[in-house]
């Protein structure tokens, strides 16, 4: 009888399926990993025959110790989770994480010629489970590596909230003297279409061959395996659930592209912070700060806004140029007056900032009376082109480190490249 890890041919009434047998928690289902990398479940009642094609050949993995080369820069890889440093165990079906320098180099041997690699685990978790405390944890671990004298840092991260973490680190790490690049993978390492290697190697190439000294994200530029982007930490957003080129720059251009075949770096813009011998300052986000995001939508009711009483900050994803339903125009819109009065009362104690629900473009709250009325009661954000996610992170960070009056002044002041001085037409859907 074939066992997990064996290659099998499964015959059903309608088709033949070949792949690697995986363990199943359901006794009525047989799971097979196809050559495409996808798993498929087949009901046992439909199976006519399971034929052994090839037994699993157990190989004892030997990983030799590595010696650092004085001629190469040193890069620390700090792992927080995700699929990028994982390997499939075909006996158990589990994806096993690999974190030591030797294991990383055995998976990505190209790194040996780019830099000396140091690698360790910070925390292993799904990115959607991260909280402000984890941003501070990552920042402190980055500080430790900087003290050790490394030339750059790569943070491996799950893609779902990587743009939140990138923005948080950009604000928390003040006077950053070296590059910190966040890297993820949209496709797991057991799939032929995995983007893990290209993203990680491209980040290392950029660190080793540039004078860049900011937080950034390195992910695929397109669906193919030819080019990766270096993307700004505070101007980037995940725009697709599964595409490898899901991370896109918003209202700006990427910093650079890396050709994954030739290893060439093409700088697109040079208005980034350069490496200097500066003293790193860490300004963490308070773990108990209460900030929320509310999307403006038709038929909103005032009681929703009342739920944010006692919050330190609120980001509203406004419609159009920065609006929310506050105008009473007929007998059906009486609730809008309640919304306006609730917002007015809420803004006395809670800092409320508008962000563009459209994602692209700049808020213009002076154009219509709706925006002007909102500003009159203390709603901030006019002229901002920050994404809602960056607005949320920046507001939490400001409230953690500055007095309320200073927060009101700084929220629409460019501190980490989060606000565009000018938005070029060619940045839309770049």
- 332-384 tens-digit pLDDT: 999 999 999 999 999 999 999 999 999 999 999 999 999 999 999 999 999 99
**Helix segments in 97-245, DSSP class H:** 101-107, 132-147, 162-172, 196-208
- Pick the closest to residue 134 from 218, 78, 200 (CA basis): 78
CATH 3.40.50.1170 in the chain: give the residue spans. 74-282
Q: How many CB atoms lie within 10 A of CB 259?
A: 15
The pLDDT assigned to 349 comes to 97
The pLDDT assigned to 309 comes to 97
Residue position matching structure tokens 């507001």? 395
Using one digit for the tens of pLDDT, what is the confidence trace for 248-259?
999 999 999 999
Poorest-pLDDT segment among 13-22, 162-171, 271-280: 13-22
Chain-centroid distance, C-alpha 112: 26
Poorest-pLDDT segment among 44-58, 260-274, 311-325, 386-400: 44-58
| Encoded tokens for 62 | 């030997």
| Encoded tokens for 295 | 């999307």
Q: Are 122 and 156 in contact (CB under 8 A)?
A: no
What are the φ and ψ backbone dihedral angles of 347, each rounded to 5 degrees? -70, -15
| Encoded tokens for 377 | 């009661």
- pTM here is 0.87
Using one digit for the tens of pLDDT, what is the confidence trace for 313-337?
999 999 999 999 999 999 999 999 9
What are the φ and ψ backbone dihedral angles of 201, each rounded to 5 degrees? -65, -40
CATH 3.40.50.40 in the chain: give the residue spans. 291-410
The pLDDT assigned to 308 comes to 98
Greater pLDDT, 392 or 34: 392
| Encoded tokens for 33 | 């990993």
| Encoded tokens for 411 | 């929220």
How far is it, in rounded angstroms, from Cα 11 to Cα 44? 11
Q: Are 277 and 177 in contact (CB under 8 A)?
A: yes
How far is it, in rounded angstroms, from Cα 218 to Cα 159? 11
Query: What kind and span of H or E run contains 341?
Result: helix 334-346
Q: What is the 3 state secondary structure string of 371-412?
A: HHHHHHCCCECCCCCCCHHHHHHHHHHHHHHCCHHHHHHHCC
CATH 2.30.30.520 in the chain: give the residue spans. 7-54
The pLDDT assigned to 192 comes to 56
Using one digit for the tens of pLDDT, what is the confidence trace for 49-102?
999 999 887 665 555 567 888 899 999 999 997 656 555 555 445 455 556 777
How far is it, in rounded angstroms, from Cα 250 to Cα 384? 12
Does 238 qualify as catalytic in the annotation? yes
How far is it, in rounded angstroms, from Cα 77 to Cα 181? 10
Using one digit for the tens of pLDDT, what is the confidence trace for 184-197?
998 665 555 678 88
Q: Are 316 and 354 in contact (CB under 8 A)?
A: yes
Domain 7-54, architecture per CATH = Roll (2.30)
Topology (CATH level 3) of domain 74-282: Rossmann fold (3.40.50)
Please tell me which residue in 89, 91, 100, 160 is annotated as part of the active site.
160
The pLDDT assigned to 1 comes to 78
Does 338 qualify as catalytic in the annotation? no
The pLDDT assigned to 427 comes to 96
Query: What kind and span of H or E run contains 314?
Result: strand 313-318
pLDDT band at 245 (very low <50, low <70, confident <90, very high): very high
Does 160 qualify as catalytic in the annotation? yes
Across the chain, mean pLDDT equals: 91
Poorest-pLDDT segment among 3-12, 266-275, 285-294: 3-12
Please tell me which residue in 80, 238, 260, 427 is annotated as part of the active site.
238
Residue position matching structure tokens 């659930």? 241
Cα→Cα distances 45→38, 104, 199, 292, Å: 22, 42, 42, 50
Please tell me which residue in 80, 156, 159, 391 is annotated as part of the active site.
159
What is the average pLDDT across 423-429?
94
Please tell me which residue in 33, 74, 80, 83 is annotated as part of the active site.
83
- Pick the closest to residue 7 from 50, 67, 68, 39 (CA basis): 50
Does 241 qualify as catalytic in the annotation? no
CATH number of 291-410: 3.40.50.40
How far is it, in rounded angstroms, from Cα 171 to Cα 279? 15
Output DSSP code: residue 322.
T
| Encoded tokens for 343 | 């917002």
Poorest-pLDDT segment among 16-20, 163-167, 175-179, 322-326: 16-20
């Amino acid at each position: 009888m074939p066992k997990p890890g064996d290659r099998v041919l499964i015959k059903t009434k309608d088709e033949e399926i070949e792949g690697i047998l995986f363990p199943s928690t359901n006794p009525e289902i047989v799971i097979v990993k196809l050559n495409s990398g996808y798993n498929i479940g087949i009901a046992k009642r439909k199976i006519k025959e399971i034929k052994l094609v090839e037994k699993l050949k157990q190989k004892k993995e030997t990983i030799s110790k590595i010696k650092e080369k004085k001629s190469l820069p040193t890069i620390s890889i700090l792992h927080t989770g995700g699929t990028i440093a994982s390997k499939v165990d075909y006996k158990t079906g589990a994806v096993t994480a690999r974190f030591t320098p030797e294991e990383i180099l055995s998976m990505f041997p190209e790194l040996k010629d780019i830099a000396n690699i140091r690698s360790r685990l910070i925390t292993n978790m799904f990115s959607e489970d991260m909280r402000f405390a984890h941003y501070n944890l990552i920042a402190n671990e980055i500080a430790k590596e900087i003290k050790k004298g490394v030339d750059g840092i790569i943070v491996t991260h799950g893609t779902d909230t990587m743009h939140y973490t990138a923005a948080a680190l950009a604000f928390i790490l003040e006077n950053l003297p070296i590059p910190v690049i966040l890297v993820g993978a949209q496709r797991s390492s057991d799939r032929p279409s995995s983007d893990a290697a290209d993203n990680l190697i491209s980040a290392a190439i950029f660190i080793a061959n540039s004078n860049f000294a900011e937080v950034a994200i390195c992910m695929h530029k397109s669906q193919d395996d030819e080019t990766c982007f270096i993307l700004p930490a505070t101007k980037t957003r995940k725009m697709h659930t599964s595409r490898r080129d899901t991370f896109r720059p918003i209202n700006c251009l990427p910093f650079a592209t890396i050709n994954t075949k030739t290893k060439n770096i093409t700088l697109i813009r040079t208005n980034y912070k350069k490496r200097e011998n500066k003293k790193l300052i860490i300004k963490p986000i308070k773990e108990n700060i209460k900030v929320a995001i509310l999307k403006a939508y038709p038929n909103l009711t005032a009681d929703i806004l009342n739920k944010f009483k006692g919050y330190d900050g609120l980001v509203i994803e406004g419609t159009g140029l920065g609006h929310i339903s506050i105008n009473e125009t007929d007998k059906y819109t009486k609730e809008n007056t309640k919304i306006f009065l609730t917002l007015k009362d809420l803004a006395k104690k809670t800092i409320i900032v508008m962000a563009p629900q459209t994602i692209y473009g700049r808020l213009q709250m002076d154009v219509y009376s709706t925006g002007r009325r909102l500003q009159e009661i203390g709603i901030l954000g006019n002229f901002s082109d920050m994404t809602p996610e960056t607005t949320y992170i920046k507001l939490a960070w400001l409230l953690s480190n500055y007095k309320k009056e200073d927060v009101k002044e700084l929220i629409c002041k460019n501190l980490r490249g989060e606000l565009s001085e000018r938005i070029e037409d060619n940045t839309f859907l770049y």
